Amino acid sequence: MNQINEKNEIVVVAGADGFIGGSLVADLRRQGYTRIRAVGVKPFERWYQHFPDVENMVLDLKDRQNCETAARGAYQIFMLAADMGGMGFIEKHKVECMLSVLVSTHMLMAAQQHNVQKYFYSSSACVYNASKQRDHNCPGLKEEDAYPAEAEDGYGWEKLFSERMCRHFREDYGLRTRVARYHNVYGPNGTWFGGREKAPAAICRKVIEAKLKGHTEIPIWGDGNQTRSFMYIDDCLKGTQMIMNSDVTEPINLGSSEMVTINQLIDIVESIAGTKFKRVYELSAPKGVNGRNSDNTLIENLLHWEPRISLREGLEKTYRWIYDQYVAREKGVQVLA
């Protein structure tokens, strides 16, 4: 019996018009995958990364027929498509976030119908019980802390429900599903302005803007004492593919365990920029839970790995990329948000 060479089989990246999806397509190309199907809802000119040598499709995956088109003939699917953004977006667009359940469900149905062999679903740390995230000194969220359920309203509930759908498609239909709970992914080629950006990109942009325009202060959402961990995109891509190819059947954390306060995040960005600013705290702005960090015990035990790129190293690369994007935009060059 001939062994399948996965690099010559169709691999679908749903959500390829986004930050993580576009980065995954780029990584699969580098590895030599020859039949990549990149699927996104935005017009091609709005994709973060667009490669003419792959099969690109513009499809609204809320529609079941479009999901069947995307899944036809596929050996594996990375399901990264969702309507989401940073806390400023998900707190104010709960309906849009929850409607992603159509994408999640229809892609599972299409994968089962077309006998897809491997299926990855990107969940989120927003599924975790809010009562375990009230302390700034969050000890780290273990996988079992998602239950009893008290997820982030809107976005978190959709992710938690879709995790269960993956479980039941695996149990009832034999679809080989793998689920990772992402913790705050950041890096170049991602959203950095416009309202959907997450904290690392937002802080980089604010510091760059203040420095270039001669401002003396920057606005900060919340009191700056909120704690988080942030995972660089390269670690996310490596972990995603490790989990896809593993025997881990239950949802598993994929995030850095390097917890910092938002104030400490700003300290690092200011150090990279070589400057300091007065911080104006906007206490009425969306700030999310008080403390959230990834407990990596399970991924270390099962896969003997965890994200390893330090926050300082990742922020240096991200800051340089956003700086170039900012300067280009100021010169009138059209850049993506």
Q: DSSP letter at 43?
A: -
Structural domains in the chain, CATH included, are 9-186+231-254 (3.40.50.720), 199-228+259-330 (3.90.25.10)
Averages of pLDDT over each 10 residues, the chain, 337 residues = 84 97 98 98 95 98 98 98 79 88 98 98 95 85 94 93 98 98 95 90 97 96 94 98 98 97 97 97 86 95 97 98 96 85
**End-to-end CA distance of the chain, in Å?**
48
- DSSP for 142-200, please give it: -GGGG-S--PPTTHHHHHHHHHHHHHHHHHHH---EEEEEE--EE-SSS--SSS---HH
This prediction has a pTM of: 0.94
Q: For 234, phi and psi rounded to 5 degrees?
A: -60, -40
Would you call 281 a catalytic residue per the annotation? no
Q: Give me the catalytic one of 33, 119, 155, 182.
A: 155
CA dihedral sign, ordered 37, 38, 42, 46: negative
pLDDT at 337: 65
Whole-number pLDDT of residue 4: 86
pLDDT for the residue 76 = 98
Listed in order, strand segments (DSSP E) in 18-68 are 36-40, 55-58
- Write down the pLDDT at residue 122: 98
- Two tokens, residue 38: 């990149």
Burial of 142 (0-12, 13-18, 19+ CB in 10 A): middle
Burial class (CB in 10 A: 0-12, 13-18, 19+), 100: buried
For position 2, what pLDDT does the model report? Answer: 59
> What pLDDT does residue 1 have?
44
CA distance linking residue 161 with residue 104, whole number of Å: 9
Length in residues, the chain: 337
